[in-house]
């Protein structure tokens, strides 16, 4: 019965969220055309935080003291929900995301993506994966970059094995690694369920940064184990 109620509520809520997001994108595009980067950054934070207010959830964030918003990091987080990106941008609106190259070719919207330092990546295959990772490193120079190393959202609530792509970025840059744990987001809205579970407690845990030199001396398997272990530790 409760699930049915959540489904009925979720339909209009998604409508409100999509409308609100569309309005915010138009406003931010206008600001980006005027070169108002600080306004765009503030608008992104407002949008991200407002999304959780609109679904009636308070987003608790622990670990603000562990990072400098003006610093440069490689942000690594678990991926469980439709709302993961909003959760990270609510505390780090200046973070850059990687995505499909074709998006920057869309009129107007492409200009907005460039304004927020979007990193365009071509579709990868066995032949060009390293080339794309190299491009990501070059384009991310001077930026904080966020990556979900699982590659896709979990379908069982457990953190999936990490892909090695972020290790290439780590070894090819001097970025500190900032681990982030997103708790409760799988219960809130997983990939394999339509409705939002409106009584879910959601929490972001920002861990202490890991120095680049402390990781690059390890082999890939050790890095994967160490980083995943830090992110999983917030569950216990």
Tokens, residue 194: 């339509």
By CB neighbour count within 10 A (0-12 exposed, 13-18 middle, 19+ buried), where does 101 fall?
Answer: middle
Angle at 100 between CA 87 and CA 92, to 5 degrees: 25
- pLDDT per residue over 217-234, tens digit each? 999 999 999 999 999 999
Nearest to 18 by CA among 54, 46, 44: 54
Q: How many residues does the chain have?
A: 236
Residue in this structure with the two tokens 């890939």, named with its chain if needed: 220
Contact between residue 23 and residue 31 where contact means Cβ atoms under 8 Å apart: no
> Which carries the bigger pLDDT value, residue 121 or residue 150?
150
Average pLDDT, the chain: 86
- Looking at the predicted structure, is the pLDDT value of residue 120 above 60? yes
User: What pTM does this model have?
Assistant: 0.87
In this predicted structure, what is the pLDDT of residue 25? Answer: 86
- pLDDT per residue over 8-35, tens digit each? 999 999 999 999 988 888 898 888 888 8
- Looking at the predicted structure, is the pLDDT value of residue 210 above 90? yes
Calpha distance 154→162 (Å, rounded): 11
Sign of the alpha-carbon dihedral angle for 109, 115, 118, 122:
positive
Calpha distance 116→217 (Å, rounded): 32
Sorting pLDDT into bands at 50, 70 and 90, what band is 38?
Answer: confident
Helix or strand (DSSP H, E) at 95: none
Domains of the chain: 2-233 (3.40.1130)
Helix or strand (DSSP H, E) at 18: helix 2-33
């Amino acid at each position: 019965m409760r699930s049915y109620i959540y489904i009925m509520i979720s339909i209009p809520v998604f409508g409100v969220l999509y409308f609100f997001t569309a309005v915010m994108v138009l406003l931010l595009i206008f600001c980006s055309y005027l070169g108002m980067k600080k306004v765009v950054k503030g608008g992104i934070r407002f949008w991200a935080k407002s999304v959780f207010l609109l679904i009636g959830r308070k987003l608790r964030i622990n670990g603000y003291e562990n990072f400098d918003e003006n610093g440069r990091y490689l942000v690594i987080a678990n991926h469980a929900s439709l709302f993961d990106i909003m959760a990270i941008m609510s505390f780090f609106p200046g973070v850059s995301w990687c995505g499909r190259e074709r998006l920057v070719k869309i009129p107007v919207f492409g200009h907005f993506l460039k304004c927020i330092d979007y990193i365009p990546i071509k579709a990868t295959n066995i032949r060009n994966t390293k080339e794309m990772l190299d491009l990501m490193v070059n384009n991310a120079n001077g930026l904080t970059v966020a990556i979900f190393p699982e590659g896709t959202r979990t379908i069982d609530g457990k953190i999936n094995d990490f892909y090695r792509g972020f290790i290439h970025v780590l070894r090819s840059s001097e970025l500190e690694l900032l681990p982030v744990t997103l708790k409760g987001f799988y219960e809130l809205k997983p990939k394999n369920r339509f409705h939002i579970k409106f009584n879910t407690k959601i929490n972001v845990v920002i861990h202490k940064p890991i120095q680049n030199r402390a990781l690059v001396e390890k082999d890939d398997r050790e890095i994967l184990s160490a980083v995943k272990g830090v992110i999983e530790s917030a569950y216990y």
